[in-house]
Structure 1
Amino acid sequence: MNRRRLAPIALAAVAVAIVTGLFLAPRLSRPETLSGYVEGEPLYLAAPVAGTVKAMFVVRGQEVRAGARLFVVDPQQLRAQRDQAAAEVASTEAQAQDARKGQRPAELAVFEANIAAAEARAVDARADLRRTTPLVRQGIYAPARLDDVRAAAQAAEAALAAARRQRDAAVLGARQDQVRAADARVAQAAAGLGGADARLADVAPLAPAAARVEEVYYQQGEWAAANQPILSLLPDHRIKLRFFVPQASRAAYRPGRTVRFACDGCAQGLTATIDYVSPRPEFTPPVIYSREARDRLVYLVEARPSVRLNPGQPVDVAPLEAGR
């Protein structure tokens, strides 16, 4: 056979061998690293009411501590509602204190007058009963007359006792129903004041944790709609690694285990703690371009790093071995 004909055939065979090796070799060997990236979960802070941003205390990229002031949305309307609720609390507390004081002297005089009138009617009824009793016995009056007089006397005595009980309750300040009603109004007003304070605090939120200001969407003087994010924070504890493991190695990864990883420009020996392993497999996302993992079924794993990283940064994770 002519050497000129053999040369192209040999070159084609070599090319096929090279392509086959490049295609199959990664699938026959275990990958040295797992590809992944850093992801952050921001916190979006907003106000529950629409208004002008009166103050903005931070800028994009700034580090803030837990409890730091961030921004203030016009609090005028909510402050007026809070002041109204505070006035309602003061009013109901005054009413409750007044209810516990009992009747005043002018009111007690009314009770004394009622007792005097009841005593006079009782005296007359007793005297009438004393006169009528012997006359009934003598047959001058019918027995029914005695029953009527006796009933009238008993009613007069009951009225006198009731008037005295009312006077005693007033002296002791035992208007329990009024006191309980006044206390209920105080509790209701206090709850309204607590709600007003909470709404007022919502227009000037504080940083819930140490974080970086990722984005500021509104500046001082701009109008912000209700529940519209005004800025976003990225706390360190909401930054995580996301990487994908082959299904054959899935059993080696579980929450609580530690993985080692590396990234460009990072220190050596970095670690992260696994806190989530997806229960469902998936195909390698397009963002992962490693030839070893392509077209394989993988599981998502999330881990919390021990150092601060930047979202979007690629990382290489050292694979784990089952049982270790």
Structure 2
Amino acid sequence: MTRQRLLVVVLLLVAVAVIAALLIIPRFGRPAVLSGYIEGEPLYLAAPIAGTVKAMYVVRGQDVAAGARLFVVDPQQSLAARDQAAAQVAGAQAQAVDARKGQRPLELAVLDANIAAAEAKARDAEATLRRVSALAARGFDSKAALDDAAANAQAAAADVKAARKQRDVATLGARADQIRAADAKVSEAQAGLTGAAARLSDNAPLAVSAARVEDVFFQQGEWAPANQPILSLLPDERIKVRFFVPEAQLSAYRVGATVRFSCDGCAKGLTAKIAYISPRPEFTPPVIYSREARDRLVYLIEGHPSARLNPGQPVDVEPLGEPLK
């Protein structure tokens, strides 16, 4: 009985040893790796005004080149706004040209008539002054009458001078401040036209770079609210490898350095160029089940992969200086 118990104990110890060996020995045989995943940052494209989607040129999952057409939202409202802004520019330019011309011939003729009338009045006042002066010298008129005649002559001469000055200003054109005000109106109207043209082009955006169409939210014929994403793009340059480095190993990494990584079903020899190193530490995210760094402080690092991969793929990153097998 004792031998049987001893045999059972020995068998249990052997089983525990075998299990431990199966779990521990492989860990010594493989190098440490840093756990990470592929992250994508999509671009959401929308139109600045509400309208019907007149055309949709892409489908979900399609690859598009830089400058490719994506969709068109009904441009009628934007076209009307652009035409109105263009009309305002034309009106402001006409006013600026008119300000530089000065008075028109008919208006100048009126000013010339005012000068003639003022000169005739001045001649009458001078004649009256000479007559009253002669009478006053002989004692046939009072000094008060002489003073009144002199004042009337001076006033008539001032009126002639004012009329001639008004004619000179009209001939030379509008004042400088009026011209500046007209030019400012032109600049304001041109700015409005530029904004209207930009909003019109926003109704039919183009792909800014090579990308994949991640999703299409509105199809042709559907009504899309203003500033509501109509589709999302995933540009190649916005796909990143994100992995976490223990605090003790952070000094080996720098922006611009290259790391190697692997993933299930991926080609061999994949690399990523480090573009960002987080300045703040964090605890290992719960979705990352690192073999060595679990429950330790780590730093997030992002890099641009050498190949197109799908967001969400888990990857194993080779620590710098430790080659993968």
In the superposition, the TM-score normalised over structure 1's length comes to 0.86
Partner residue in 1 for 2:7 = 7
Output aligned runs, 1:291-306, within 5 Å.
291-306=291-306
Task: Note the C-alpha offset of 1:112.
Answer: 0.6
Hey, what's the Cα distance between the residues in 2 that align with 1:247 and 1:288?
Answer: 16
TM-superposed deviation, 1:71: 0.6
Q: CA deviation at 1:219?
A: 1.1
Residues 79-121 of structure 1, C-alpha deviations (whole Å, 9 max, x = no match) = 1122122122222222222232222221111011000011112
Corresponding residue of 2:214: 214
CA deviation vs aligned residue, 1:43-77 (integer Å, no higher than 9, x gap) = 00011222110011122222222222211111112
Preserved contact between residue 277 and residue 300 of structure 1 (Cα < 8 Å): yes
- Alpha-carbon offset, residue 321 of structure 1: 5.3
Deviation at residue 304 of structure 1 after TM alignment: 1.5
User: How high is the sequence identity, in percent, across the aligned residues?
Assistant: 70
**1:107 paired to 2:107:** yes
The offset of 1:4, in angstroms, is 2.3
**Deviations, residues 3-34 of structure 1 (Å, cap 9, x unaligned):** 32223434454566667778888999995221
More divergent stretch after superposition (10-19 vs 236-245) = 10-19
Instruction: Summarize the Cα distance change of 1:7–1:137 in structure 2 as closer, same or farther, 3 Å threshold.
Output: farther
Aligned CA distance change for structure 1 residues 10 and 248 (closer, same or farther; 3 Å): farther
Give the corresponding residue for 1:67.
67
Q: 3-state DSSP class of the match of 1:233?
A: strand
| Cα deviation, residue 279, structure 1 | 2.8
| Contact persistence 1:118–1:159 (CA under 8 A) | yes
Q: Is the 8 A contact 1:26 1:292 kept in 2?
A: no
Alpha-carbon distance in structure 2 between the residues aligned to 1:64 and 1:162: 74
Note if contact 1:26-1:291 (Cα within 8 Å) is conserved in structure 2.
Answer: no
Contact 2:32–2:292, Cα closer than 8 Å, also in 1 = no
Distance in 1, matches of 2:135 and 2:3, equals 163
Counterpart-to-counterpart distance in 1, 2:163 and 2:28: 104
Please tell me the root mean square deviation across aligned C-alpha atoms, in Å. Answer: 3.1
Call closer, same or farther: CA 1:28–1:126 in 2, change over 3 Å.
farther
Distance across 1 between alignment mates of 2:61 and 2:307: 18
Give the structure-2-normalised TM-score: 0.86
Aligned residues: 322
Provide closer, same or farther for how the CA distance between residues 29 and 263 of structure 1 changes in structure 2, counting only shifts above 3 A: closer
* Contact kept in structure 2, 1:215 and 1:233, CA below 8 Å: yes
Distance in 2 between the 1:139 and 1:243 partners?
Answer: 119
Q: Distance in 1 between matches of 2:142 and 2:14?
A: 144
Which residue is 1:168 aligned to? 168
Matched to 2:89, the amino acid is V
